[in-house]
A and B are shown apart, each in its own frame.
Chain A
Amino acid sequence: MSANQRPALPDRPDDLVLSSGGHPSFSSFYASEMRSVVGLAYALSGDRATAEDLAQEAFSAAYSRWDRIGGYDNPGAFVRRVVANRSVSLFRRQLRETRALVRVFNERPPPNEPELPSPAAELWAAVRTLPRRQAQVVALHYLDGVSLSEVGSILGVSKESANTHLRRARKRLAELLAHLEET
């Protein structure tokens, strides 16, 4: 396959097969990672449709370069990084466009959409108010169970930097959740 050709999707996406390059097929990669990546996007964007769109965008980006990204040691890191960056960017953009239209603790889901239960709803709403790196580190570390070294690798920062963001995020989250309990 030349570098300009897109990899063909197997007929059965759930098959764990190796491509001719020796790395997992895109379809098996998608099947194994999709749910987790949607969860990450959902935590950071707060909206299911947005999360699924973000995941689709991230997997599309990986798909178009699968001949290279599929050969990396952890291609999942790539889609997580794209989702983490785009989720926060999108959230901030929405925040700018409609600013505080979304009062984080008063968000209402669209009709027929089950609500994220409490206290998860309050927790992730609070996470989304953190500076973007802090929000990303919290979501990757606690939701995805990724080590701080891996978080650093995904976000392109050092483990020490990831740890610093996590420490500050925890401090701020504790303040926000305490404030919420008081009110």
Chain B
Amino acid sequence: MIDLDRHLDLGSRQLKSHVAAFPTPTFREPKPASRLRAGLAAAAVTVAVILPVAGFLGSGQPATTGTETTQPTPVDTDFEVIVGEFTKAEAVAGFSEPRDFVEGAGLTGFGMVAVGHHTELDSRPKAWVAPDDGIWSAIDLSSVDLTGVELFLDVKEIDGQLAILALDILEYDGDPSSRRLMLYKSADLTSWTIKELTGIEAFALGFTNVTGITTGDAYSLQSVTRFGTEMVAIGVPAGADANTVIRSVDGGQTWAPILGPVVAGLPDELESVAASATGVVAVGMERVMAESEEDAGTASRVDEVSRAIIVWSADRTNWDRAALDLGDAAESRMVDVISIDGGFLARGSLSDTAGNTLWALWASNTGASWERVSIPEIEGSYGHLDFNSGILTHFASPSLEDNSDRTGAIEIWQGTIGVSDRPQS
């Protein structure tokens, strides 16, 4: 039996003593937020977009912001994403356990396959499959040599075989060179071949997520997408210490940041980027100060909250903040964006003041303005969004990030999805 109070007492005293030995940090007066409030171009125009709203949290509210833009305002009408019947997928008992997390999914000859990892203590890779009957089960990996593999990043079908991209850690020394990508392939889900890959080789095979390693001269690339002959991703460019939108024109050897000043501020955290014929959008969140009417005169009155943000660019040079309906949400964040039928579909979450969090979808024709998509209310904002052949799949992992005390397994929700007629140009 663990004496938890003793652990907590001793652990707290040890940590305080440890921190007391740190050199005293000197307060650095903050610099003016030069990246914020970037100067408006003389030709800037102001657009206020009013969008219809559906779903949870403030339904019927107009768009929360009018957005100043430095780019010509694209025509953004008659693009409507319609989600049909959306239901919880069946799964065999015990197919997933609490703190499983899906990193990637793909439609393959074996059915839909999802890969990820178990996130608690010893992280270990996991994979799940839903054959034609649509019932999910775990893929038996007990006979596979997964030594050093922390997680599966992505999955595809290559040459009729299931191909899983894995992240292997050689040393826990914080050095990216101690990590490598491995490709696991199988034609029968029983016997597997294993091969080391570079990030560039992974891109060539169509994988989009190579987090945790250095690829070319950038680190931890995710959401890699092609824009003509160029590649665009979220990642940490050489010499930087935070991720941003980066671009490569030489097949991934060198990467340069392309997210410039944005009127009314840049995202504080970026999660995903997508490209279409009309431009590029990147999604994430910003931190804003919120002040409640209650608790006047106390520190509880001022809080720092996250707010979803989408930025878009038609030319990959000039960027603007998109008009985005967040209803009455107290907090929000945006975690995924994908290209769909030439437009975009973004996934995020909305939380009310009580901390109840639900996922939400937004759609956009050009990236400049977004409309909420009506979907079922599903608790749990985290997971992975996958769109394959008209089927939208949401893998919800409620316990990883949310305040929810629910610690259940992954819930998989699927629905048909379509796009209304596009405007004639």
Answer yes or no: A129 CB below 8 A from chain B CBs: yes
With the chains together, A177 CA to B302 CA distance in Å?
A: 36
Docked-complex contact A103 and B172, CB < 8 angstroms: yes
Docked-complex contact B302 and A78, CB < 8 angstroms: yes
Which of A100, A132, A157: most chain B Cβ within 10 A?
Answer: A100
User: Which residues of B are found within 8 Å of A21, using beta-carbon distances?
Assistant: none
With the chains together, A98 CA to B302 CA distance in Å?
A: 32
With the chains together, A97 CA to B103 CA distance in Å?
A: 11
Stretch at the interface among B7-15, B71-79, B88-96, B137-145: B7-15
Docked-complex contact A173 and B4, CB < 8 angstroms: yes
Answer yes or no: B220 CB below 8 A from chain A CBs: yes
With the chains together, A90 CA to B357 CA distance in Å?
A: 19
Interface string of A123-166 (1 = CB under 8 A from B): 11000010111000010001100000000011011000000100
Given contacts A78-B299, A82-B304, A156-B300, contact A106 B19 (CB under 8 A): no
User: Which residues of B are found within 8 Å of A82, using beta-carbon distances?
Assistant: 304
Residues 281-315 of B contacting A (Cβ, < 8 Å): 287, 289, 297-304, 306
User: Which residues of A are found within 8 Å of B151, using beta-carbon distances?
Assistant: 99-100
**Which residue of A63, A154, A178 contacts B30 across the interface (Cβ within 8 Å)?**
A63
User: Which residues of A are found within 8 Å of B355, using beta-carbon distances?
Assistant: 133, 157
Chain A: minimal CB distance from B178 (Å)? 10
Answer yes or no: A89 CB below 8 A from chain B CBs: yes
With the chains together, A93 CA to B211 CA distance in Å?
A: 12
With the chains together, A100 CA to B14 CA distance in Å?
A: 26
User: Which residues of B are found within 8 Å of A154, using beta-carbon distances?
Assistant: 299-300
Answer yes or no: A17 CB below 8 A from chain B CBs: no
Answer yes or no: A120 CB below 8 A from chain B CBs: yes
Docked-complex contact B302 and A116, CB < 8 angstroms: no
Which of A69, A99, A132: most chain B Cβ within 10 A?
Answer: A99
User: Which residues of A are found within 8 Å of B101, using beta-carbon distances?
Assistant: 99
Interface string of A108-125 (1 = CB under 8 A from B): 101000101101100110
Residues 36-77 of A contacting B (Cβ, < 8 Å): 38-39, 42-43, 48, 51-52, 55-56, 59-61, 63-65, 68-69, 71-77
User: Which residues of B are found within 8 Å of A76, using beta-carbon distances?
Assistant: 299
Chain B: minimal CB distance from A21 (Å)? 13
With the chains together, A13 CA to B26 CA distance in Å?
A: 10
Docked-complex contact A77 and B403, CB < 8 angstroms: no
**Which residue of B20, B297, B402 contacts A71 across the interface (Cβ within 8 Å)?**
B297
Chain B: minimal CB distance from A75 (Å)? 6
Interface string of B165-189 (1 = CB under 8 A from A): 0010100111000010000000000
Closest A residue to B8 using CB positions: A142
User: Which residues of A are found within 8 Å of B179, using beta-carbon distances?
Assistant: 101
Interface of A is mostly: helix
Q: How many residues of B contact A (CB 8 A)?
A: 64
Chain A: minimal CB distance from B20 (Å)? 7
Chain B: minimal CB distance from A71 (Å)? 7
Answer yes or no: B321 CB below 8 A from chain A CBs: no
Answer yes or no: B334 CB below 8 A from chain A CBs: no
Interface of B is mostly: mixed
Chain A: minimal CB distance from B407 (Å)? 8
Docked-complex contact B7 and A60, CB < 8 angstroms: no
Answer yes or no: B154 CB below 8 A from chain A CBs: no
Docked-complex contact A48 and B299, CB < 8 angstroms: no
Closest A residue to B1 using CB positions: A178
Which of A9, A102, A156: most chain B Cβ within 10 A?
Answer: A156
Closest B residue to A61 using CB positions: B304
Residues 141-170 of B contacting A (Cβ, < 8 Å): 150-151, 167, 169
With the chains together, A51 CA to B23 CA distance in Å?
A: 13
Docked-complex contact A97 and B212, CB < 8 angstroms: yes
Docked-complex contact B14 and A120, CB < 8 angstroms: yes
User: Which residues of A are found within 8 Å of B1, using beta-carbon distances?
Assistant: 178
User: Which residues of A are found within 8 Å of B7, using beta-carbon distances?
Assistant: 119, 123, 173, 177
Docked-complex contact B403 and A72, CB < 8 angstroms: no
Taking A99-B101, A101-B179, A179-B121 as given, write out 20 further A-B residue pairs in contact, using a Cβ cutoff of 8 Å, ordered by the A residue number.
A6-B29, A34-B27, A39-B19, A56-B25, A74-B299, A89-B306, A98-B220, A99-B103, A100-B151, A101-B167, A101-B172, A102-B172, A108-B172, A114-B21, A119-B14, A120-B14, A131-B403, A138-B8, A173-B8, A177-B4
A sample of 23 inter-chain contacts (CB < 8 A) reads A9-B29, A35-B24, A38-B22, A52-B22, A56-B28, A60-B28, A71-B297, A78-B299, A81-B299, A97-B212, A98-B211, A99-B103, A99-B151, A99-B211, A105-B121, A131-B405, A132-B401, A153-B298, A154-B299, A154-B300, A164-B405, A173-B8, A174-B2
Residues of B within 8 A of A (CB): 1-2, 4, 7-12, 14-16, 18-22, 24-25, 27-30, 101, 103, 117, 119-123, 150-151, 167, 169, 172-174, 179, 211-212, 220, 222, 243, 269, 287, 289, 297-304, 306, 355, 399-405
4 smallest CB-CB distances across A and B, nearest first, come from: A100-B123, A123-B11, A120-B14, A77-B299
